[in-house]
Copies of this chain bind each other. A is one copy, B any other.
Amino acid sequence: MLVKRVCIVGVGLMGGSMALALRLAQRTTVPRFPLHLTLVDRDPKTREAVKNLANVVTADFAEGVAEAELVILATPVRTVVHLLGELARIRPFGCMVMDIGSSKAAIENAMNHLPATFQAIGGHPMCGRETAGFSAATPDLFRKQTFVLCRNARTTPAIEEQAHRIVNLIGANLLLLPAELHDNIVAVVSHLPYVVAAALMRNAATMGDEHVWLVSSTGFRDTSRISGTDPTMMLDILLTNKTAVLDQLAHYQADLSALQKFIETEDEVGLRQWLTETQKQYLEYRRNKR
């Protein structure tokens, strides 16, 4: 059973989709379960857009979380860390708290420092879009997508059960991972892809020839797509997952340099091997994703 009083803080793409998905689940589950939903967002336009979705809509964090049984933090990572400190102050007798931030070690650390009256778990749904904000939110964003949960010192069976319940209600697939492993993996499959796409977009934009966009096709479009990601969210990710991101960047650039060398020296044997290996890895990945 999901607790009744849920408060989602940050009603952007992720928090908004979570709110929509929980409401949809509530309305389509027989028998309906009670859900008193509070949404907290500092943007007046967002608050206006979600006024029919929630029981309470507010700009004030303290007001929003005051009576919540479960608080879901859906802001950029460093704001999650900050709000966990606030929460300890506002709710000294504790509550259940979960977050859906994009890197987990910094949040795990903050959750470990919560008073023992709190029950907490880290979460990260592996889905996203290059467009941010509630206007891009959709109730089926999480459907059939992996949802990572990370335990910490404040994780109890009760908060873990609530998290499982949510993952189930929104149609996602649960995966339990330690925060550090999670952060290493997302550096590889999410943060490095952003960096790669971003540098590609910058490279094309700075060419400054009017024909560039005319000639660009689906390959460029897909490879550069996530360069549109929200800068504030990305800033927090790159700084809170600094070590793993820098490791992957170094590894990535070393591989690019190897390729560069093959092309420079016209080493056909080395180049063909690099290209053939890569295609094989792609095919292997596609097999694993089906």
Contact = CB atoms under 8 A, between A and B. Distances in A.
B128 A276 contact: no
A230 interface: yes
As for how many copies of this chain the complex holds, the number is: 2
Interface residues on A, range: 35 or more
A241 to B, nearest CB: 9
Interface in A253-278: 253, 255-257, 259-260, 263-264, 266, 268, 271-272, 274-278
A201 B253 contact: no
11 contacts: A127-B217, A189-B204, A190-B215, A193-B200, A195-B259, A201-B282, A228-B282, A230-B279, A235-B268, A239-B263, A239-B268
Interface of A: 126-128, 130, 145-146, 148, 175, 177, 181-182, 184-186, 188-190, 192-207, 209, 211-232, 234-235, 238-239, 242, 245-246, 248-253, 255-257, 259-260, 263-264, 266, 268, 271-272, 274-279, 281-286, 288-289
